[in-house]
Amino acid sequence: MKFFDSLISETDGVISALQKKTFPKSNIWHDDGQNQVIMRRDTAFELEGTGFNLITAYNTADEIVVIGDDLDAIRDDRRFARIAVVQIDDVEDEQKAYNLIKKIDYVKYHTFPEGYMMRSTSRSHKEAVRVSKKAVKDGVDFQKIGSLMIEKYKENPAVKGVRMIFITAPEADYSSIEKLAEKAYSITEALNHIMNNLKFDCDTCNLKVICDEVEGMKELHFRTSAE
Ligand code: SF4
């Protein structure tokens, strides 16, 4: 599974010049177990931006990287990004790998940190978060939220390590991050196209741009279409 590896390198490039704090996984924040609604009057601030996963077979240690202010230091609404670099077993079977990518994507819909309301849609990389005043008072921070999310990703035994990157720094290049998220989404869409045995005809396919760029996509589709 190396389809997302070049995006991981690009992500590292986009954040390389920014100041980072790195934390181990620890102190897991409480999960409510179900959808919660935080009213505007109970909200400390909102984060609005991008959230996406990059799946790899490369060794990835569990850690939380924070770029910019942590949740306890934010006073007003901010732009934001959350990137999860997720190491999985190096599965040979592409169908299994694709199924894993989809399952890993569902984690964000099954994680309900108390006082940290995440909103995203299945066909988008947009992510918005509403943080409650109570959660801030109770000491919420990205290390605890990231630790909970790592725990959730690792409920899937194929997940071996997760690096959670949270970005709130105003100087971060959010438009480049958004482009990386769009590419990650397009790669998943192309895999969906390939795995559903749709016609192998790159000249008429709207995913040609991404398949031209990502090594191995066309070969994979050629192989699966011949089976
Ligand atoms: S390999 Fe060609 S046909 Fe298959 S998804 Fe990519 S562009 Fe489309």
pLDDT at 64: 98
Which of 218, 219, 224, 225 gets mutated to test ligand 1 (max ligand atoms within 8 A of its CB)?
Answer: 218
Question: Does any domain span residue 115?
Answer: yes
SS in 3 state form for the chain?
Answer: CCCCHHHHHHHHHHHCCCCCEEECCCCCCCECCCCCCCCHHHEEEEEEEEEEEEEECCCCCCEEEEECCCHHHCCCCEEEEEEEEEEECCCCCHHHHHHHHHHHHHHHHHCCECCEEEECCCCCCEEEEEEEHHHHHCCCCHHHHHHHHHHHHCCCCCEEEEEEEEECCCCCCHHHHHHHHHHHHHHHHHHHHHHCCCCCCHHHCCCHHHHHHCCCHHHHHHHHHHC
Provide the sign of the torsion angle of the four alpha carbons 127, 128, 134, 140, taken in this order. Answer: positive
pLDDT at 123: 67
Ligand 1 center to 182 CA (angstroms)? 17
Q: How confident is the model at residue 40 (pLDDT cuts 50, 70, 90)?
A: very high
Task: Find the mean pLDDT for residues 160-170.
Answer: 97
How many domains are there within the chain? 1
Task: Find the mean pLDDT for residues 49-59.
Answer: 94
Task: Find the mean pLDDT for residues 114-121.
Answer: 91
pLDDT at 227: 67
Q: How confident is the model at residue 53 (pLDDT cuts 50, 70, 90)?
A: very high
Question: Does any domain span residue 179?
Answer: no
Q: Which atom of ligand 1 is nearest to the CA of 211?
A: 6
Question: Does any domain span residue 207?
Answer: no
207 lines ligand 1 (CB under 6 A): yes
Distance CA 148, CA 112 (A): 9
Per-chain mean pLDDT for the chain: 92
List strands edge to edge, sheet with 21-23: 21-23, 63-67, 159-167, 78-88, 43-56, 126-132, 116-119
CA angle centred on 180, ends 48 and 114, rounded to 5°: 35
Any idea which of 47-56, 69-78, 117-126, 130-139 has the lowest mean pLDDT? Answer: 117-126
Which of 186, 189, 194 gets mutated to test ligand 1 (max ligand atoms within 8 A of its CB)?
Answer: 194
Q: Atom 7 (ligand 1): residue with closest C-alpha?
A: 208
Question: Does any domain span residue 148?
Answer: yes
Q: Atom 6 (ligand 1): residue with closest C-alpha?
A: 211
Ligand 1 center to 226 CA (angstroms)? 14
Which of 188, 191, 207 gets mutated to test ligand 1 (max ligand atoms within 8 A of its CB)?
Answer: 207
Q: Atom 1 (ligand 1): residue with closest C-alpha?
A: 218
Say if residue 121's pLDDT is above 80. Answer: no
Question: Does any domain span residue 134?
Answer: yes
b/e code 63-90 from CB counts within 10 Å (16+ = b):
bbbbbbebbeebeeebbbbbbbbbbbee
* CATH number for position 143: 3.30.1650.10
pLDDT at 122: 64
Say if residue 149's pLDDT is above 90. Answer: yes
Percent of the chain with pLDDT over 90: 67
Compute how many other C-beta atoms are within 10 angstroms of the C-beta atom of residue 132.
20
Distance CA 192, CA 60 (A): 25
Tens digits of per-residue pLDDT, 61-73?
A: 999 999 999 999 9
pLDDT at 54: 96
Percent of the chain with pLDDT over 70: 99
71 lines ligand 1 (CB under 6 A): no
152 lines ligand 1 (CB under 6 A): no
Q: How confident is the model at residue 178 (pLDDT cuts 50, 70, 90)?
A: very high
Task: Find the mean pLDDT for residues 164-179.
Answer: 96
pLDDT at 106: 87
Question: Does any domain span residue 97?
Answer: yes
Among 80, 79, 82, 28, residue whose Cα is nearest residue 54: 82
Question: Does any domain span residue 217?
Answer: no
- Domain encompassing residue 72: 5-171
Question: Does any domain span residue 227?
Answer: no
